[in-house]
Structure 1
């Protein structure tokens, strides 16, 4: 209680005493013993009322015990069922759930995982991917400040992601892997990995790399066959031994026809081989008959040039040539020209662009000659200040010229641009806007302009190499930035007329991949329309069955998730309710389940994970031993904690009841004695 409140309470005692004595002793004509009782009751009621008005606060300490958490993470991937361990695993989890000693000692939290982590135990063992490293990342964040040993029930087979064995070195909790699956090594041959480019060019040859592995002790001979339809187009003998148990076979195939070419790789199974599913793998290549050639014109050296080249050529369907303005002779062979920080030496290039009506992408910066640029074209003008400024990007979610997503621009470093007002005199759509420090402006940083059928994009700043580097720091790859930049180049390299309804899909998908069809829908003024009701009709060409799925609005796209479709060839049609517009396309799903390629539990890795985290590995039939070890482990003791609460007297409802009671007693006694 504060010193100030103590002083007020003393004053309240004095005031209450003075009021009680004044009324029942000083003013009383006859002083009796009853007056002392009345004075005492009045003193208590007035004092209680004054204390209620003062409202002092008190500290209250609450002590409680907190049990350590026990995290149970269960593998929900299809490899568990493929290895025949689904029933035993479910029984093991049920034994943990019903164990009274374990539940009394720990606060048990249950999770299931495959390619992601879910705080539920709806176990169906039908998920197509496993990422154990991601499980450890997520749980490490949730329980970073807790004592939470982790029971990891899995076969240890990870299909993608970072190696969880090394990720466990920095995991803050003890991990107790429950090894699920057959640990007996059997003779098996399989296609471990098949590497092939997604695209190839017509009349060229594309490389294929096949990695084959063998587990066994005998010398064996088999054959690798590549088929297109029923025709065998490549065949090679393969020999394995106990010491020489892997092979890497490289060869090339001819891209003779445009379109999607499907192939099947098969490693002929050995006699009596138990698992033959992992001996086959389908793959496909999209053969295209043209390549997008892009010319980058620059008169200076800058890190942006290297970043642009890397981003452009991340897609094999594009190639980039870099030239100085004086070296540009003919631009007809290029679908797009990038002008980097134009100066007066670019006058000949602009003349060629005007004559050929080529689309172009202009990037300006601190070295740009804006006097020349304002004079050579009339689409936009920059105020001449000869000063530079740092501009942070801000994504415009209402951009509607073509489909793009925010890749995290709010966390990207600034670009260096010319300070001053920008005026655009043509029809334009702003993709990125400028932020100066924390001040939002409506001025463009990246915009697209279309005039008389010619498309142009203008980036008012240099330093996009930092954006690509930041993308790598955020995601450990360049994919999202390169995809963003590629879509911008695709729009500029095309002269296709804008449509109110556009769809985006791949020509083929692998069976273990996420399959999503996206669409963008615009009003008649070509503004993105969020009110549309879009649906997609998907038809299986092989079985002639079809299904209709509503498309959900996500940011500035409509999307349908078709990941539940089986392998086969499909047509689709996207339509808008109430509108006479639709778009159609086709795609194929290749039969491939990576989880079925696995034959044994990865005992070695799981035991190493236990060692790295000071835990211990168990098998499914060692439930009792696991429970005993956890309960007896002195590292997992309940922790007594205290919680300090500040309690106000006004919250004590009984004080009001006491005041009412005292006043009521005083009134009834005075009434009884005829003083009222």
Structure 2
């Protein structure tokens, strides 16, 4: 409490005392025991009211004991069921959660994990993927500044994600793995990995690579076979031994017809092999009859150029070539799209040729662009010419209708470097990304597209978009999202197909263990996104002849439906709008593959390493009760006494209000009783 507040309180006491004496001594013309009591009660009332007006603050200290956390993370993936360990895991979890000693010593927090970490609701062991790395990263965010020994119940087999040893090193808590699964070594053949391009070209041969492993101490002979339907398209005899226990096969397969072609690669099992599920894999290749060739025409060097080539060519259907302005003119007939990067007057003949051939193009204009020249050759838009530059951040237009765009958290992307000034379009256009300066969002286009005379064109007003792809990797630990955005933009610009009111985004085939999501956009007659439409998909299994109808769910600027529950098969589908007779049909395949069934043994060595590097211990199903006793006796985990210091204003102290009311009531009652009122 400050000195000023103390002086105010003393002054309040003096004022209250003077008022009370004035009322019951000076005006009463005498002193009596009753008047003294009345004066005391009036003093308390007035002093209490003045204290509330001054409202001093007091420090309130609360002391409490905080128990350490005990984190229990349980592998909820399908591999636990495949290894016949469901009952063991359930028993271990129940015994730890219900142990009285542990409950008294710890706050027990229980999570399950598969593809993501979740607060435990129930254990189903149906997760199709295991990402232990992601689980540790999530736990690190929650328990970064607390004491939280962690029990992880798992077989240690991760199906995707970064190596979880590195994430565990950053998790500054003791880790106690309870190892689930068989630790005995059996003879086993495994098709460890199959590398095949997603696309192939008609009448060509496409490469494939198979990595085959053998576990055992005997010499074995087997055969590797690739089949398509009932036909064998490749086979090779193989020999394995304890020393020579891995083989990498490189081979090619013919692409004799257009469409999605399904294959099955398998290594024939040996006698008494225990796990045959990891001997084979299904895969598919989409055979196409053409390839999109994109020309990037530039006279400058910039990191954007390499990024564009890398991003565009992640789709094997596309090829990028770098050309000088004069070189591009002679190759226009071979190009489906021309990207003009920061043009100047040396591009004059190229722009004339593009106009003559009515060719689609993508113009990227930045500080190195000659805008006087660009304004001269462009009939559809003009850029204000100034000597100033500006950094613009992107903001997604959620109502963009030309194709489906996922929000990549564009507002977190670094700004592009651009010329200051507003672009002015003389034709109808659609903005993909708006300009944002600091926290101020403008309606000026940063990236826009338009269609005129059967030609499609896009223009980006800024350079350094290579930073966007880098930031996308930081956000998602993958380039896939940004490359998908680039791919959709290139696909739209490289095609002259008529604009549809119903657009779909889906793959030709999916692996059975992947998440299968189809996206759709529906537009009204003015080609504005319609968020009030109801879309349904009718999916038909071509093998079983069964159909089911599933509704789409509105999400941001598109509709989505999750088809991950569909079993492996060939499907046809029709997406229909309920309010209008608009529909679109297609087909896709789901390939049978369960990555969680590829493991025969627990990864004991990695889990032991996990325990030792974190000052924990590893346990097996047979001795997990030793872990319970160990944690109960470990002196490192004790309650911590903490204090909480709060500044409490006097006005929150309800007893003072009660005291004021009580003194006023007593004074009134006594005066009434004595006939003074």
Smaller-chain TM-score range? Answer: over 0.9
| Partner-residue secondary structure (3-state), 1:167 | helix
1:562 matched to which residue of 2? Answer: 563
Q: How far off is 1:30 after superposition?
A: 5.5
1:620 matched to 2:599:
no
1:464 matched to which residue of 2? Answer: 465
Q: What is the TM-score with the length of structure 1 in the denominator?
A: 0.97
Query: How has the CA–CA distance of structure 1 residues 2 and 388 changed in structure 2, closer, same or farther, with 3 Å as cutoff?
Result: closer
Counterparts of 1:401-420 in structure 2, within 5 Å, are: 401-420=402-421
Q: How far off is 1:603 after superposition?
A: 0.7
2:527 matched to which residue of 1? Answer: 526
Query: How has the CA–CA distance of structure 1 residues 389 and 51 changed in structure 2, closer, same or farther, with 3 Å as cutoff?
Result: closer
Query: How has the CA–CA distance of structure 1 residues 4 and 543 changed in structure 2, closer, same or farther, with 3 Å as cutoff?
Result: same
2:237 matched to which residue of 1? Answer: 237
Query: How has the CA–CA distance of structure 1 residues 664 and 338 changed in structure 2, closer, same or farther, with 3 Å as cutoff?
Result: closer
2-structure distance, mates of 1:552, 1:116: 22
2-structure distance, mates of 1:244, 1:172: 40
Query: How has the CA–CA distance of structure 1 residues 166 and 16 changed in structure 2, closer, same or farther, with 3 Å as cutoff?
Result: closer
1-structure distance, mates of 2:21, 2:390: 80
Q: How far off is 1:459 after superposition?
A: 1.1
Moved more, 454-463 or 36-45: 36-45
Query: How has the CA–CA distance of structure 1 residues 325 and 44 changed in structure 2, closer, same or farther, with 3 Å as cutoff?
Result: closer
Counterparts of 1:221-300 in structure 2, within 5 Å, are: 221-300=221-300
| Partner-residue secondary structure (3-state), 1:474 | helix
1-structure distance, mates of 2:473, 2:29: 94
2-structure distance, mates of 1:51, 1:457: 70
1:561-614 alpha-carbon deviations (Å, 9 max, x no partner): 000110001111111111010011100101000111111111111010001111
| Partner-residue secondary structure (3-state), 1:21 | helix
2:447 matched to which residue of 1? Answer: 446
1:348 matched to which residue of 2? Answer: 349
2:177 matched to which residue of 1? Answer: 177
2-structure distance, mates of 1:476, 1:674: 86
Query: How has the CA–CA distance of structure 1 residues 515 and 26 changed in structure 2, closer, same or farther, with 3 Å as cutoff?
Result: same
Counterparts of 1:124-523 in structure 2, within 5 Å, are: 124-327=124-327, 328-523=329-524
Q: How far off is 1:245 after superposition?
A: 1.2
Moved more, 347-356 or 568-577: 347-356
Q: How far off is 1:61 after superposition?
A: 0.6
2-structure distance, mates of 1:30, 1:324: 112
Query: How has the CA–CA distance of structure 1 residues 22 and 239 changed in structure 2, closer, same or farther, with 3 Å as cutoff?
Result: same
1:10-32 alpha-carbon deviations (Å, 9 max, x no partner): 22332232233333333335643
1:105 matched to which residue of 2? Answer: 105
| Partner-residue secondary structure (3-state), 1:253 | strand
1:85 matched to which residue of 2? Answer: 85
Moved more, 527-536 or 333-342: 333-342
1:227-277 alpha-carbon deviations (Å, 9 max, x no partner): 111111111111111111111111110011110111111111111111111
Q: How far off is 1:671 after superposition?
A: 3.2
| Partner-residue secondary structure (3-state), 2:536 | strand
Aligned residue-pair number: 676
Checking the alignment, whether the CA contact within 8 Å between 2:178 and 2:624 is kept in structure 1 is: no
Where does structure 2 lack aligned partners over 5 or more consecutive residues?
Answer: none
Checking the alignment, whether the CA contact within 8 Å between 2:569 and 2:591 is kept in structure 1 is: yes
Checking the alignment, whether the CA contact within 8 Å between 2:78 and 2:125 is kept in structure 1 is: yes
2-structure distance, mates of 1:320, 1:667: 95
Moved more, 496-505 or 404-413: 404-413
Query: How has the CA–CA distance of structure 1 residues 31 and 464 changed in structure 2, closer, same or farther, with 3 Å as cutoff?
Result: closer
Q: How far off is 1:654 after superposition?
A: 2.5
2-structure distance, mates of 1:526, 1:132: 45
2-structure distance, mates of 1:170, 1:54: 51
Query: How has the CA–CA distance of structure 1 residues 668 and 236 changed in structure 2, closer, same or farther, with 3 Å as cutoff?
Result: same
1:538 matched to which residue of 2? Answer: 539
1-structure distance, mates of 2:513, 2:569: 13
1:68 matched to which residue of 2? Answer: 68
Query: How has the CA–CA distance of structure 1 residues 462 and 656 changed in structure 2, closer, same or farther, with 3 Å as cutoff?
Result: closer
Q: How far off is 1:531 after superposition?
A: 0.9
1-structure distance, mates of 2:418, 2:93: 60
Query: How has the CA–CA distance of structure 1 residues 669 and 480 changed in structure 2, closer, same or farther, with 3 Å as cutoff?
Result: closer
Counterparts of 1:525-674 in structure 2, within 5 Å, are: 525-674=526-675
Moved more, 133-142 or 613-622: 613-622
Checking the alignment, whether the CA contact within 8 Å between 2:539 and 2:549 is kept in structure 1 is: yes
**Which segments of structure 1 move beyond 6 Å, counting only runs of 4 or more?**
none
Where does structure 1 lack aligned partners over 5 or more consecutive residues?
Answer: none
Query: How has the CA–CA distance of structure 1 residues 416 and 47 changed in structure 2, closer, same or farther, with 3 Å as cutoff?
Result: closer
Query: How has the CA–CA distance of structure 1 residues 281 and 651 changed in structure 2, closer, same or farther, with 3 Å as cutoff?
Result: same
1:165-185 alpha-carbon deviations (Å, 9 max, x no partner): 232222211110000111111
2-structure distance, mates of 1:308, 1:187: 48
